[in-house]
Structure 1
C-alpha cells in the first residue's frame, strides 16, 4: 500500500469503502478488499495449499457438527468496535443458513469462529497475527483460529475482549490435537496440516 493510499483510507467512511470494494472486486477478480484499523487492505486470492487447508477444516467441522457450515467463499464480516471495520476471513463457521440475505458484509453476531491461514506475503504478520485477532475479538466472535503455515502451528484464540482482542491463546504444533473450545466444541488431529506448510 502506498503512503497516499494509506492517508486517503484513514479519511474514508465505511460506506465509501464498501462502494470502492464492490466496484474494484467486480473489475479485478484476483484481489479482495478489507477495511481494518481505518485502513484499506488488499488480499490476493489464495494458492492451492491455502485452499486445501480450508477444505480440510470444513470436512472436520461438518463431520463433528453437521448443523454448522464452514463458509470458505470469502464472506465479509462487520468487525471492530461499533462495526467500523470490514474483514474477509479465509473461513467463517456459523449455523447453516446464517448468512442468507445478509449481503457482502454480515453481522458477526451468530458467527462461532473465524479462520485465517497465513500466506506468503509481507503483510501476513501484521494482518493475521495482530490486526485480525484485535478486530475479531472486538466484534465478540468467540473463537479465532490461525493456521500458521510459517510456524507450522495452529493458534486458537478464545475469550474475546474488546480491549485486547482475545484473553486466551493456545498454540498447537502441526501433528498435535487441536481443541476448538465452546461454542465450537470440536477436537481435531492436525497431522495432515504438515503437508501444507510453506
Structure 2
C-alpha cells in the first residue's frame, strides 16, 4: 500500500500470483500497492541497437524493495537470455531499462507518472522510459539514487532521444506521432 493511505490490499501477493497464473493468455495483470490492474497493449517501438540486449514485453518483475508488488512493464530491456529459467515474476536486478506507455484511464497520473518511477528507482533499474500519450512526450528518468531518479528529461514526439548509459542507445520518436490524438 502507498504510505499514508488507509486502503487495504485487495489480496496478498501470493493470491495475486495464483490469479495471474490462471488468467487467460490475452489478459495481462499487475499488482501495485495491494490493487490489481489490467494492462493495456504497448505501442510497438524499436529500441534495439545493441544485439546483446533484448526488449522483453510484459515481463513480470517482483519489486519488493519499494512495496510488495508484481509489475509488468510494457517492456524490460535486459541482456539476451536474462529471464531464461526465472519464474513469471523475475528479479529486476539485471534490467537496464523499464518502458511504460501511459494508460488511458483515471489512474495513469498516479500509477505511470508517480508510483512506477519510484518503484523502478527503488529497484535500481538504471533508466525508466515513459511514453506519455496524453502529453505527446517521451520522458527519460535516469540515475536512481535512494528510490528517486535524479535526472528527468522530457522530449516531444519526433525528437531524437539519447538514452543514457548503461543503455546507451538512440531512440527515434517520429513514429510516435502516428499514435497522437
Q: Tell me, yes or no, whether TM beats 0.5.
A: yes
DSSP 3-state at the match of 2:54: strand
* Corresponding pairs, count: 175
Structure 1 contact 30–45 (Cα < 8 Å) conserved: no
- The structure whose residues are more often helix, as a share, is 1
Match of 2:179 in 1: 196
CA distance in 2, matches of 1:161, 1:80: 17
DSSP 3-state at the match of 1:114: strand
Per-residue Cα deviation, 1:117-149 (whole angstroms, up to 9, x for no partner): 112222211111011111111100000000111
CA distance in 2, matches of 1:113, 1:66: 15
- TM-aligned CA distance change 1:83 to 1:107, over 3 Å: farther
Among 128, 133, 137, the alignment partner of 2:117 is: 133
Offset at residue 83 of structure 1 (A):
6.8
The TM-score with structure 1 as length reference comes to 0.81
Match of 1:19 in 2: 18
Per-residue Cα deviation, 1:99-122 (whole angstroms, up to 9, x for no partner): 101121010111010100112222
- Indicate yes or no: 2:175 matched with 1:174: no
Match of 2:37 in 1: 42
1:48-63 paired onto structure 2 within 5 Å? 50=42, 53-54=43-44, 56-57=45-46, 60-61=47-48
Structure 2 contact 40–103 (Cα < 8 Å) conserved: no
Structure 1 contact 89–115 (Cα < 8 Å) conserved: yes
Offset at residue 80 of structure 1 (A):
4.3
Among 47, 53, 58, the alignment partner of 1:68 is: 53
The TM-score with structure 2 as length reference comes to 0.88
CA distance in 2, matches of 1:19, 1:93: 26
Match of 2:143 in 1: 159
Query: Structure 1: where are the runs of 5+ without partners?
Result: 1-5
Please give the root-mean-square deviation of Cα atoms over the aligned residues, in Å: 1.9
CA distance in 1, matches of 2:67, 2:179: 33
Offset at residue 44 of structure 1 (A):
3.8
